[in-house]
Amino acid sequence: MLFVIPDIGGYTRFMLHHKKEPEQAQAVIRSLMEAMLHAKEIPLRVSSIEGDALFLYAIRESDELWEQEKATVAATIENFFVAFYAEIQRLMKTEMCGCNVCGDIESLKIKIVVHTGHGVLDRLDRFTTINGVDVIIAHRLLKNSLSGSYLLVTKAAFDACRFPRPERFVPHQETYQGEPRFKWLVAVIDRKDGKVKPWFMPHTIAKMIRD
């Protein structure tokens, strides 16, 4: 099973900064989330909406079928960035009213984590959930030392997908408490158009790490 989590960076600061204008602030977040949902393609499915993030998954029904689907999955993941930043630009051009919320839209960004592993589909009342250690790991990877807008793909997930031009990704790894080092591949996103930057040197990673 493949897990994909698009997460809006700067969400907490944005909502707290505009706590006196919660409806306007949430309207911006809703528009951005809807833009990403509209960019979703099968076989990716929505498991849950988590405030500032989507939790998506794709089931590998068979190796033969996945061979046909993995390029679509990789393209959809990259399209989430394009849809997000296109909506940022649309909001700034058409919804600007001079309020504090509108003036702060450009501070929002998106990061996406992709992981693969085992997940257990469970049904509770009318809701279907996905549980398991790899689900926990996917969410934990959001808490990393990187900043900015980026696509973080674990090595196993990268091997499972067919991302075009793999030279755009560089390796990186971090250690979490009590856990072995996680090996990732990271691509930097251009916030002007949502496209993966054509290339960047490994030392760029160091600039992305928070002090």
Between CA 133 and CA 167 the distance in angstroms is 30
> Using one digit for the tens of pLDDT, what is the confidence trace for 12-61?
898 888 888 888 889 899 999 999 999 999 899 999 998 899 999 999 88
**pLDDT beyond 90 at 157:** yes
| Dihedral, 14, 17, 20, 23 alpha carbons, nearest 10 | 0
Three-state DSSP class for residue 197: coil
Instruction: Identify the band that residue 191 occupies on the pLDDT scale cut at 50, 70 and 90.
Output: confident
DSSP letter assigned to residue 129: E
Q: Give the predicted TM-score (pTM) of the model.
A: 0.88
Instruction: Identify the band that residue 135 occupies on the pLDDT scale cut at 50, 70 and 90.
Output: very high
**Share of the chain residues as helix, strand and coil, in percent rounded to the nearest 5:** 40, 30, 30
CB 112 within 8 A of CB 144: no
Three-state DSSP class for residue 209: strand
Q: What does the block give as tokens for 133?
A: 């250690």
Q: What angle do CA 82, 86, 92 make, to 5 degrees?
A: 155
Sequence-separated contacts (24+) of 143-146 with Cβ below 8 Å? 144/174, 145/174, 145/209, 145/210, 146/111, 146/172, 146/186, 146/205, 146/208, 146/209, 146/210
What are the residues facing 175 on neighbouring strands? 181
CB 171 within 8 A of CB 126: no
